[in-house]
Structure 1
Amino acid sequence: MLREMTKTPFYVLLHPFQGFWDLKYENKGRLRVALSMLLLLTVATILLRQYAGFVVNFNYPYDLNSINELQYIVLPFFLWCVANWSLTTLMDGEGKFKDIVMATGYALLPLILMRFGNVLISNIITTRESAFYYMIDSLSVLWFVWLLFIGTMTVHQYTVLKTIVTMLLTLVVMGIIMFLGLLFFSLLQEMIGFVVSIYNEISYRI
């Protein structure tokens, strides 16, 4: 397990084209490793928000809730996977849902490394040096997007243009899913409130 957590993800990090090809077509990817990457990113983000140096940390520690990180990391992760799978099924994509989860999970490695590293860096830099912190953070996001782009293109066997269009449409589909989800829960809440009010009215009259 330890070897799976280090060798293949770092190979994908440095050799993305061959790495993602191996994940799908050489059966070198593991779903548990991809989900472990998601867990590590959640932990790294919590540590960064809690223990980053005061130079770059504008969060009030007592107001932070680690559970909230699930809605900012885990929820978008699975929303992306579901939206991408739903969309690419209609666009002749070759990737299965498992392939999309693995590609997305392995692409998270730059964010994990940079955020763990930034926890240490933020506690030793001065205000003038804070630009390096933000530069590292920006580079990690760009690296992640680059890996996600290559992973999507490789998994579905798309052209560059079709991959770009698919990724943009995936973001749109994510927004639609979130809107429908909020609408559903809003209607459900209204229905429950209506039923409770009727029950209370009947109880008072009896």
Structure 2
Amino acid sequence: MKPKTRDSLFDMPEKPNFQFELDLKTRGIWPVAGLDEAGRGPLAGPVVAAAVILDENNIPEGLNDSKKLSHKKREALFFQILDTATVAICSNCAQTIDQTDIRKASLDAMQRALNALPIAASYALVDGRDIPPKLSIPADALIKGDARSISIAAASIIAKVTRDHMMEQAATTLPEYKFERHAGYGTKIHKQAIKEHGASILHRMTFRPLRKD
């Protein structure tokens, strides 16, 4: 089965649903994993990817694109997903991002998360336009997939909350950057901290304004 990108957004649902997964199941393709990542844009910290296989009989209520959820709701769903679904998480650090690029590092983390699942998936639904090149199973790339597939939405929540927790932990050893307030994104307070303290081991030196041409 050839991997493909589903780029039509005319069928965008109000909220992500389980239809892509159920369509595959009716064709005898099961289980299906959702893949997503968090942290492509920040100036510091890792990119984190998650792979999630939902239990169709025990899907947490309220799953949605992590960006559309409040902090409190994301945190609650994070633990509900871990309690009810099959989950794997992988990341790539700032140094790996600098040595390759953020796109390659993101796709690599998603591919490794899929491989780390304790239950082998038969198919993957991947958020975005790109499918990890080394994926061992067939896959679809879904543009705005976290708003269309609840498996991808669940993966987006796991990746986002995991990364936020990592940056909060980083703030305890590098308090001068206030990572707990911006998670490494290029906010005014973060850029000011870089001016005052320079770059840390967590900063991506190939990202502007850290990059020196």
User: What TM-score do you get using the length of structure 2 for normalisation?
Assistant: 0.28
What TM-score do the two structures reach when normalised by structure 1? 0.28
Point out the structure with max Rg over C-alpha. 1
Structure with higher strand content: 2
More helix by share: 1
